[in-house]
Chains A and B, each alone.
Chain A
């Protein structure tokens, strides 16, 4: 890793993966596809009115397949299917080995050869690293970390936090 001295978290940009109603409050979410709290959080976020910008924060020491899963999501994203892969990864965290990733890519109808080349390629690696390093510089330590309206919620995110963000039910 390079020098990761403190720096403010970058605000949302066009490069972020964003999902949710256009007029809903926007939150940044640093998450990891192998983190069980993140999977639970993804389910919860799907039920509230919130726009979520997803950023990768794969800690390999805790979750050895987290980086590979993030790369699968980014490779799917290069074929326009980031969020579909996001949902499939969080939907079955017990199966994150390569054959399981190929199976998901097949289900999404992706070009498999391209998917496999992209997920191991420099573009995807740089994208994940950029998210991760931005989080480290901005003092993200654990997943999930949700940031919105100047507030930060780390770890299991309680319903009250979502209320504070103004994320009502859909």
Chain B
């Protein structure tokens, strides 16, 4: 990793830089889409890897209603192609929409400081407030460590504290 590369996820208080991800329908998802509501970005290494499967299923169970009531949206973000992400989401039976960082590969993950040198996203969480400023972020010490759903509840408090 060169000296200019960001170390760890983009910290709280930092405005989100410009980025372009793609939704499952192929449309672009950019910084402008963050404005006006709370966004929880769940970066995960690979669709279909067993660890991610546990993580996303648990988040769906415990957070989907909670987030909806707070006008917050959660997205899964990986470097997989959008078709793979859709197949992954459908296999899990979850509603969490997916965002693809497929081409140029990892460009948005780099912008958020969560690109693993191995060519995939770190296992990281970034919560962005309605002002498009990072309210809270977290990166797991290892990609095999699953961030508990409790961390997202903790992070959402930071959004409340900022407003």
Chain A residues within CB distance 8 Å of chain B: 1-7, 59-62, 136-142, 154
In the complex the two chains form, is B153's CB within 8 Å of A4's CB?
yes
Q: Are A5 and B58 in contact (CB under 8 A)?
A: no
A1 and B53 CA atoms in complex are apart in Å by 20
Contact A1 B154 (CB under 8 A): no
Given A62-B57, A141-B55, A4–B146 Cβ distance below 8 Å?
no
B27 interface hit (Cβ, 8 Å): no
B148 in contact with A1 (CB, 8 Å): no
| Nearest 7 interchain pairs by C-beta | A139-B148, A141-B146, A61-B57, A142-B54, A62-B57, A6-B150, A5-B153
Q: Does the CB pair A61–B150 fall under 8 Å?
A: no
Contact residues in B for A1 (Cβ distance below 8 Å): 61-63, 65-66
The reply to whether B62 and A5 form a contact with Cβ atoms under 8 Å apart is no
User: Which residues of chain B have C-beta atoms less than 8 A from A136's C-beta?
Assistant: 58, 62, 148-150
Between-chain CB contacts (< 8 Å), 25 pairs? A1-B61, A1-B62, A1-B63, A1-B65, A4-B62, A4-B153, A5-B153, A5-B154, A6-B148, A6-B154, A59-B57, A59-B61, A61-B57, A61-B61, A61-B92, A61-B93, A62-B92, A137-B150, A138-B150, A139-B151, A141-B55, A141-B58, A141-B147, A141-B148, A142-B58
Task: Compute how far the CA of A139 lies from the CA of B62 in the bound complex, rounded to whole angstroms.
Answer: 12
Q: List the B residue with the shortest CB-CB distance to A58.
A: B61
Instruction: Indicate the member of A5, A60, A138, A141 with the most B CB atoms within 10 Å.
Output: A141
B150 near A5 with CB under 8 A, answer yes
Residues on B facing A (Cβ under 8 Å): 51, 53-55, 57-58, 60-63, 65-66, 92-94, 146-151, 153-154, 157
Interface of chain B, main secondary structure: helix
Which chain A residue lies CB-closest to B152?
A: A4
Instruction: Give Cα distance in the complex from A103 to B93, angstroms.
Output: 29
- B60 (CB) vs chain A CBs: closest residue: A61
A62 to B94, CA, bound (A): 9
Q: In whole angstroms, how far apart are the Cα atoms of A50 and B147 in the complex?
A: 28
The reply to whether B149 and A4 contact each other, CB–CB distance below 8 Å, is: yes
**Alpha-carbon distance A40/B128, docked complex (angstroms):** 41
> Is B94 a contact of A140 with CB atoms below 8 Å?
no
CA distance A60 to B93 in the complex (A): 10
A6–B152 CA distance with the chains assembled, in angstroms = 9
List residues of chain A with CB within 8 A of the CB of B66: 1-3
**Cross-interface CB contact of B53 among A3, A62, A138, cutoff 8 Å:** A62
Selected from A2, A6, A59, A138, the residue in CB contact (under 8 A) with B58 is A59
Report Cα–Cα, A2/B69, bound state, in Å: 11
